[in-house]
Structure 1
């Protein structure tokens, strides 16, 4: 056990409280017994006093082995261990502040779920590349476990129906969880894809998933066309509207305007030629 002395803490609530020179060096088995003493003392000291602060801080340092024990379960996550321990310490502090001596439960038994819960909450809130609802985050964990168990037993990837049965969910919920799982991590569009040969130039993800948007070219055409249409006289604009918006035939347009179909055809051809000329003139020169 770490060296301790018996002294009175300044606010005088108890005259026989151990003062530990190095609480973080207390062995786990010794910390269990000492924690009972300090937790009883914490319950009777007034919050905000020097004595209360000392007891609380000592409890935290003395039980850091619980945080390290819980954090080791998440070592494979690849996150910085220091961050995980920091988050786990928050869970330990919550456990100390909420522990009830009257329940006659070992402090370690009470604290570990708090520590693990805080670490899991940290992963849930910070490690998803795309935010998804909590129910889908939980479904992803279930899905990963079911995939691993069924894959080991079946020797192949399980089907959606098999996963649904193992998880106790509908097939639609399993599919939704599979889609949501794609949001857990992300890859840069500039990430290189190649076989590593020196003679080959690595391509990036953007070379494979990007494509031209035809709607963008259409928008540019409309943007160029609009002022050209505005320059036409009222009759020519009406002809274009009847033909290409209302989709009337040339005969129907001729009847409405009181002219022949041939005349309608000539007027439309003249307007379209003027618009085509204007579009080509505004287009960038092509090599």
Structure 2
């Protein structure tokens, strides 16, 4: 049939497609563009009817019709008469564009493509089974019909709720003037403690290693004072005094803009005594008491004096069997004295280490100083 200008509205799009194809054969580009526009205009009612099938699913009718028109244009551009009916091809293309639009724009929350398709299949299958059984189909029945796991059915239904999630700003039923978001959640009681926790952590770092360890064992390790005393090799009463002194300082520091200076420990609780003896070419020094930063300087001076005075000696033995606690300052003393003894040709050995002190010395890499 010859083309004389505009296409007349036709119900049979296949016939119109054949006429369009014959008219475009051998025509120049401007003529093909005009014929293409006329053919699209003829098929617009068909695209509009397809779009109407998807009304009432949360998307504006105008948007759906616009998407259907886009699908129609794509089907006209890609149509190959040798592959069959134009109507069938246009239906597949247009509905595909509409479904893609729902996947990309219809979901209120992003859901993987697999769950989107599965949610649609589960909904359609459940509706069909409900009509057949005259009751709501169970998850097991839907899973059996689709040949999938029951867990997949439940996951698809949960994902389906993301298609049109409720708004937190919607008015709550039964609560005049209140929004749904007002009824969810509550104030975190720990929020006000964030500043205090940060301050306490910073102040704890200013305490000596011994006090930090006791606090960690007591409040983070949930250890009793007796357990801590056994681990440190001191009395339970001693641990109680150290713990009370540290907590008192922390309270004062938390209530003050300028934290007080850590006063350390009293000499009564932590006095350090040394007994040095010279036997032949061996210097023997027995240390008694806890070695920390408060008295490490005293220990260093005494041991250095023994090394200087025993220039003709060949061996220095430091007996730490009476030392229940040795911190980083004490380790520094051992390193310094060992170096001074080495320069003078004196062999230094440490003996009688208690369990906790032995772990500290070994962890510091000084195991070569320990006499087996």
Match of 2:302 in 1: none
Query: For the Cα contact (< 8 Å) 2:68–2:98, is it kept in 1?
Result: yes
> Could you tell me which of 65, 77, 101 is aligned with 2:45?
65
Match of 2:101 in 1: 122
Q: Distance in 2 between matches of 1:187 and 1:44?
A: 57
Residues 140-190 of structure 1 deviation map (CA, whole Å, 9 limit, x = unaligned): 111111222233344443322122122221101111111211211122212
> Could you tell me which of 148, 156, 161 is aligned with 1:169?
148
Match of 1:18 in 2: 4
Are 1:262 and 2:232 matched, yes or no?
no
Match of 2:200 in 1: 225
Match of 1:242 in 2: 217
> Could you tell me which of 161, 165, 171 is aligned with 1:186?
165
Are 1:149 and 2:124 matched, yes or no?
no
Taking a change above 3 Å as real, the CA distance of residues 31 and 143 of structure 1, as seen in their structure-2 partners, is closer
> Could you tell me which of 246, 260, 267 is aligned with 1:271?
246
Q: What is the SS of the residue equivalent to 2:11? A: helix
Are 1:132 and 2:111 matched, yes or no?
yes
Residues 84-118 of structure 1 deviation map (CA, whole Å, 9 limit, x = unaligned): 11111121122112212223x33222211111111
Query: For the Cα contact (< 8 Å) 1:254–1:261, is it kept in 2?
Result: yes
Residues 213-250 of structure 1 deviation map (CA, whole Å, 9 limit, x = unaligned): 46645644422321222343443223212333455442
Taking a change above 3 Å as real, the CA distance of residues 279 and 212 of structure 1, as seen in their structure-2 partners, is farther
Match of 2:137 in 1: 158
Query: For the Cα contact (< 8 Å) 1:70–1:116, is it kept in 2?
Result: yes
Query: For the Cα contact (< 8 Å) 1:146–1:163, is it kept in 2?
Result: yes
Taking a change above 3 Å as real, the CA distance of residues 204 and 280 of structure 1, as seen in their structure-2 partners, is farther
Q: Tell me, which stretches of 5 or more residues in structure 1 are unaligned?
A: 1-5, 7-15, 283-287
Query: For the Cα contact (< 8 Å) 2:67–2:101, is it kept in 1?
Result: yes
More displaced, 61-70 or 248-257?
248-257
> Could you tell me which of 65, 75, 99 is aligned with 1:85?
65
TM-score, normalized by length of structure 1?
Answer: 0.78
Larger RCO: 1 or 2 (CA < 8 Å, sep 6+):
1
1:188-227 pair list within 5 angstroms:
188-195=167-174, 201-213=176-188, 216=191, 219-227=194-202
Q: Tell me, which stretches of 5 or more residues in structure 2 are unaligned?
A: 258-372
Q: Distance in 2 between matches of 1:159 and 1:216?
A: 44
Query: For the Cα contact (< 8 Å) 1:194–1:202, is it kept in 2?
Result: no
- Residue 209 of structure 1 and its aligned partner are, at CA, apart by 2.5
Q: Distance in 2 between matches of 1:76 and 1:113?
A: 21
Q: Distance in 1 between matches of 2:126 and 2:225?
A: 64
Residues 17-52 of structure 1 deviation map (CA, whole Å, 9 limit, x = unaligned): 3211xx5xx433265533321123335446xx2122
> Could you tell me which of 33, 39, 43 is aligned with 2:21?
39
Q: Distance in 2 between matches of 1:214 and 1:163?
A: 45
Bigger fraction of residues in helix: 1
TM-score, normalized by length of structure 2?
Answer: 0.61
Query: For the Cα contact (< 8 Å) 1:99–1:110, is it kept in 2?
Result: yes
Taking a change above 3 Å as real, the CA distance of residues 171 and 122 of structure 1, as seen in their structure-2 partners, is same
Match of 2:36 in 1: 56
Count of residues in correspondence between the two structures: 257
More displaced, 211-220 or 56-65?
211-220
Q: Distance in 2 between matches of 1:101 and 1:142?
A: 33
Query: For the Cα contact (< 8 Å) 1:250–1:261, is it kept in 2?
Result: yes
Q: Distance in 1 between matches of 2:186 and 2:145?
A: 40
